[in-house]
Every structure is written in structure tokens, then in C-alpha cells.
Amino acid sequence: MLWGGRFEEKLDKISLEFSSSLNEDIRLIKEEIQCGKAYARMLQKIGILSDTELHQITSALTVIETEWDNNKWTPDPKEFEDIHSAIEFRLYELIGDTAGKLRAGRSRNDQVVTSLRLWIKKSSLELINLLKNLQVSFINQAELNINLIIPGYTHTQQAQPVSLAHYLLAYIEMFERDKERFSAVIKEADNMPLGAGALAGSTLPLDINFLKEKLGFASACGNSMDAVSDRDFVLDFLNSCSIGMMHLSRHCEEIILWSSTEWNFIKIGDAFTTGSSLMPQKKNPDIAELIRGKAARVFANYQSVLTLMKGLPLTYNRDMQEDKPPVFNSYSVYSDSLKLMKGMFDTIKFDNTHLLAQMKKSTILATDGADWLVLKGIPFREAHDIIGKVVKYCLNNSKGLEQLTLAELKDINPVFEESILEVFNLENALTRKQTPASPNPEFVSEQIHNWKKNLMHFS
């Protein structure tokens, strides 16, 4: 135990197991050892440790890390409250009483939040790189499908034609915002709390600037009470994971729909699908469904910590030990989902034959017809009404706009001329777009070029 001098009895065994966070915060072992080594060097710098003691402590910490990496040391949650007490106990086993000097001036309160900030900085950067990898996959597929026409939807109803490339670029924009959120998390987590002690700093002349530079923080926390009790950076990390999972879930929903017989637009690689225990013909998009399902868990993790923090007075409270399981779980689920999404997406084969046949028999170019009338000087309200009558004719006669003759159109309204037939030709739909953010192949190609140029690690 890191405490106990004032107590006459040991902590009840059930209480110890209930209160132990070792199963979760063992994931901070690398950061704990990194902090321990930096703190030891600082204590030597200010004269609390001798050169010999510094060497003993840092060498022993290296031994502990090596033992952990090689599965030669695994602390038992039934014996230790957390990773801090486990490491200190092992230090005592290795170097004796010198181990106790490392605790001078620091508390588990500032230790754990320092390690957690380091972990979140590292993990946010890893997630940014995974997002970049996914963007690269989407860019590669977009470049191959600049002219592949698919229906765009509003209200899950066919609305206007777009290209597959334009659709994929929409998700690349989402992933870029996800990266920006994690970059903001890194910036927020880049403040060092070490030196705040339990809540009120220390009477020892701790060299905070030395620690800050040694641990790679941009700055030190400005208030010792806030330093040990702040978990806003945790909430922002969890929020970023939640929004990121929401984006993946949206895409998974479309993958699931697109792979159905009714849509018949994509085929997913066998490595990311499963069969049925009963129906031999089934090929189920289980990985997409699981990503969509696990998004709920990540959302709940964010709400869990938000609820955890809402009633806590300053400063540290033991409740805050419960912040780490949601963080680690959200990271694991989201990072795995990003890897699986890339793997799955790289196996997808697109075929718009079925969708294209549907669109040619549809009224999906109705808005283009209304725009054509506007260019003839007809107010849009009237143009909308005219094209509405054309759509009604199509529905009553089981025809698509592309299948209408000029004579049929003139019977509906004499304003129509030969050039309207080009407007109702699906193959011309994308090149007629004028606005820069539209699916015009020229604009899409430019966007792809810019993304390829700006994305790091593009290959």
C-alpha cells in the first residue's frame, strides 16, 4: 500500500478487489515508467536523490518495463490498488528503501493524470494516422470512379444523381474533421499536471519546467487544484471517438444497404462477411453491422464520464478512477473499427449496373428540368409546377424522364424544346453542374488532386 501509517488494520480483501483499478490502469505502465524516470532525474537535479540513487531507480524502472514486456512480471489486482502501488512495490523488491525516495513531492493524484494525458496524446496521434490511412483508401477508390453515376438520396429516397467519387469525398471531409478534433485533443492534453501533488503543490523546490520538457509537454498546468481534477481532455477525447464512430456507423449503414439484393451495388470481400448457420445462400455484412452496433458502446462511454464528473467537488475524488475504462474501451473499439473499415473497404467491388438501369427509368433528373426552365426565363415556382406535371405523366405511364419524346413533353407544355432531351440524358447530368462543390467530374478531379497532395503518408 502507498498509505497505511495511520491505519491499524489492512483493507478488507473484498474492498481491495472492489477498489482496485489495476486491470484498467495497467495500460498506463509505459507512461508511468516514463514519468518515474523523468521525476527521478528532476529529484537528482534538485539534490533529493544522489547520482547513485538516480541510477538505481532508473535502472530498476527499466527492469520493470522489460519484465512487463516479456511477461515476466504481472501484478495481481487482488494485491494492488493500481499500477502506481504495483510499480512501487516492485521497485522496493529490486532496490530496497531507495524506492521510497521517488515518491517525494508527488501524489497518485498528479501521477495518474499526467500518465493519462501522455497516453491520450499518444493514442490521439495513432487515431489520426489510422484516419489518414482510411482517407487514402477512399481517395484511391474515388479516383477510379469519378464518372460512375449513382443516385444521391434525401429521406432515403432517390433525389439527384451524383458520382461515387463525390460520395466518397463527403466521407473524406468527415474523416478530416475527425482528425482535427483529435489534434485539438492533443493540444488540450498537452499541459503537464505533475508537481501539483495531491491538490496544493509542494514545499519541495520541484523543477516543473524540467519535468515539462523531459516529458514533452507544451506547458504546465496553471492551477494545482484544476490540474488534478480536470478531465475535460478525457471528455473531449471520448467525444471525438463518439463522433468518429458515428461517421463510421453512417457509412456502415450504407454498406449494409448497398450489399443487399435489392440494391445490388457492392460486393464485400469474404474476409469481412459471414454466413448463416441455417441458410446456405447467405452472405452477411457482419463487420459493418458490428461497427454500427459498437458505436452505441462508445457513445455510452462518453455519457458515462460526463455523468461521473457532473457532481464532483474540487479536487480529486476516487470516483475519477472510473474515467479510464471508458477511455481505453472507446480507443480500442474505435481504432479496431478504423482498421476493419479500411480492410473491408479495400475489398469492396462496385457495380452500378442495377442502379443505373433504375435511374434511367426514374424521374431523378426532375430538378435539372426545372433549372432548364428557369434559364428560359420561367420563375422557379412555375417551373416546379411544370416539371411536376411531367413527373406525374411519367408515373402514370411507367416511364422515366430519359424515355420521354419531345412530342410527349410538348403535349404537357409547349415551352419544351429539343435541348430538354439532353437535360434528361443521365450521362450528361454530372458535367452540367456549375457549382464547385458539386459532382461535376472536373471539380471532383480537382478535389482528389488536392487531397492527394495534402494527405500525409499518401501512397
Decide: 90 and 64 in contact? Cβ < 8 Å.
yes
Percentage of the residues of the chain whose pLDDT score is greater than 90 = 91
Which of 351, 384, 412 represents a domain boundary (last residue)?
A: 351
Which of 351, 367, 402 represents a domain boundary (last residue)?
A: 351
Q: Which of 15, 260, 276, 419 is catalytic?
A: 276
Which of 308, 329, 351 represents a domain boundary (last residue)?
A: 351
The CATH number of the domain holding residue 26 is 1.10.275.10
In this structure, the answer to whether residues 56 and 118 fall within a common structural domain is: no
Find the domain containing 170 and state its range. 109-146+163-180+202-351
In this structure, the answer to whether residues 131 and 266 fall within a common structural domain is: yes
In this structure, the answer to whether residues 171 and 309 fall within a common structural domain is: yes
Q: How many Cβ atoms sit within 10 Å of the Cβ of residue 365? A: 25
In this structure, the answer to whether residues 317 and 233 fall within a common structural domain is: yes
Q: Examine residue 372 and state whether it is found in any structural domain, yes or no.
A: yes
Q: Does residue 11 have a pLDDT over 90?
A: no
Residue with cell 512480471: 73
The CATH number of the domain holding residue 442 is 1.10.40.30
Q: Examine residue 196 and state whether it is found in any structural domain, yes or no.
A: no
* pLDDT band, very low/low/confident/very high, at 458 (cuts 50, 70, 90): very low
What is the C-alpha separation between 220 and 228, in angstroms, rounded?
12
pLDDT for the residue numbered 369? 98
Q: Does residue 12 have a pLDDT over 80?
A: no
Number of domains observed in the structure of the chain: 3
In this structure, the answer to whether residues 73 and 137 fall within a common structural domain is: no
In this structure, the answer to whether residues 279 and 384 fall within a common structural domain is: no
CA 243 to chain centre: 7
What is the C-alpha separation between 142 and 373, in angstroms, rounded?
33
Q: Does residue 91 have a pLDDT over 50?
A: yes
In this structure, the answer to whether residues 261 and 383 fall within a common structural domain is: no
Q: Examine residue 267 and state whether it is found in any structural domain, yes or no.
A: yes
Q: 274 has which bridge partners?
A: 284
Confirm whether 155 is a catalytic residue: yes
Amino acid identity for residue 327 in this structure: V
In this structure, the answer to whether residues 136 and 214 fall within a common structural domain is: yes
Task: Assign 240 to helix, strand or coil.
Answer: helix
Write out pLDDT tens, residues 424-455: 999 999 999 999 999 999 999 999 999 999 98
Q: 393: Cβ–Cβ under 8 A, 6 or more apart, which residues?
A: 399, 404, 408, 412
What is the C-alpha separation between 428 and 441, in angstroms, rounded?
11
Q: Examine residue 156 and state whether it is found in any structural domain, yes or no.
A: no
What is the C-alpha separation between 152 and 145, in angstroms, rounded?
15
The answer to whether the peptide bond before residue 347 is cis (omega within 30 degrees of 0) is: no
Q: Does residue 288 have a pLDDT over 80?
A: yes
pLDDT for the residue numbered 9? 57
> Closest Cα partner for 21 from 63, 94, 77, 96?
77
Write out pLDDT tens, residues 174-203: 999 999 999 999 999 999 999 999 999 999
